[in-house]
Amino acid sequence: MTAPVIVVGAGPVGLAAALALAAEQVPVTVLEAERAGVGKEWRGSTLHPPTLALLDRIGAAADAVAHGVRVDRLQFRDLQLPDRATFSYSVLEGRTPFPFRVQYEQYKLLRLLRELAEASPHVDLRHEHRVTGLTGADDGAADATVTLADGTRLTGPYVVAADGAHSALRKLAGIGFPGDTYPSQSLVAATPFPFEDVVDDLGPISYWSGPNGRLSLIRTPDVWRVATSTTVDAAASAEGTGGTHPELAAALDLLVGDRSWAANPLQQHQLYRSHQRVADRFRAGRLLLAGDAAHLSSTTGGMGLNSGVHDAFDLAARLGPALRAGGDGEAEAGAYAAARRDAAVRVVQPATRTVRAGVDATGRDARLARLRDLAATAADPAAALRHVSAMSMLDAVEGASR
* CATH number for the domain that contains residue 292: 3.50.50.60
Please check whether residues 221 and 306 belong to one and the same domain.
no
Residue 193: CATH number of its domain? 3.30.70
- Decide if 132 contacts 73 (C-beta within 8 A): no
Note the pLDDT of residue 40.
63
Note the pLDDT of residue 242.
44
pLDDT tens for residues 264-312?
878 877 887 888 999 999 999 999 999 999 999 887 778 889 999 999 9
Please check whether residues 243 and 344 belong to one and the same domain.
no
Using CA atoms, how far apart are residues 262 and 206, in angstroms rounded to an integer? 20
The 3-state DSSP class for residue 230 equals strand
Please provide residue 131's backbone torsions phi and psi, each rounded to the nearest 5 degrees. Answer: -85, 130
Which residues have a Cβ under 8 Å from the Cβ of 25 and sit 6 or more positions away?
A: 122, 320, 324
Which residues does residue 289 pair with via DSSP β-bridges, in sequence order?
161
Residue 52 domain flag: yes
Residue after which a domain boundary falls, among 243, 273, 303: 273
Note the pLDDT of residue 235.
45
> What is the domain count for the chain?
2
Which residues have a Cβ under 8 Å from the Cβ of 334 and sit 6 or more positions away?
A: 283
Residue 349 domain flag: yes
Q: What stretch of H or E contains 147?
A: strand 144-148
Residue 93 domain flag: no
Please check whether residues 144 and 189 belong to one and the same domain.
no
- The low-confidence residues of the chain, meaning pLDDT below 50, are 234-242, 399-402
Please check whether residues 287 and 163 belong to one and the same domain.
yes
Please check whether residues 22 and 126 belong to one and the same domain.
yes
In the sheet that holds 153-156, the strands lie side by side as 131-135, 144-148, 153-156
Note the pLDDT of residue 263.
87
Where do the DSSP E strands lie in 1-72?
Answer: 5-8, 28-31, 46-47, 69-71
Domain that holds residue 201: 182-273
Which residues have a Cβ under 8 Å from the Cβ of 83 and sit 6 or more positions away?
A: 368, 371, 372, 375
Residue after which a domain boundary falls, among 273, 296, 326: 273
Using CA atoms, how far apart are residues 286 and 157, in angstroms rounded to an integer? 7
Please check whether residues 353 and 248 belong to one and the same domain.
no
- Decide if 174 contacts 332 (C-beta within 8 A): no
Query: Other CB atoms closer than 10 Å to residue 330's CB: what's the count?
Result: 11
Please check whether residues 254 and 297 belong to one and the same domain.
no
Please check whether residues 191 and 329 belong to one and the same domain.
no
pLDDT tens for residues 210-221?
998 889 999 999
Please check whether residues 58 and 131 belong to one and the same domain.
yes
Note the pLDDT of residue 237.
43
- Decide if 226 contacts 216 (C-beta within 8 A): yes
Please check whether residues 167 and 288 belong to one and the same domain.
yes
Note the pLDDT of residue 348.
87
Residue 94 domain flag: no
Q: Which of 270, 280, 278, 315 is nearest to 296 (CA)?
A: 278
Residue after which a domain boundary falls, among 241, 273, 305: 273
Please check whether residues 141 and 63 belong to one and the same domain.
yes
- Decide if 226 contacts 248 (C-beta within 8 A): yes
Residue 282 domain flag: yes
Residue 267 domain flag: yes
Residue 66 domain flag: yes
Please check whether residues 205 and 327 belong to one and the same domain.
no
Residue 112 domain flag: yes
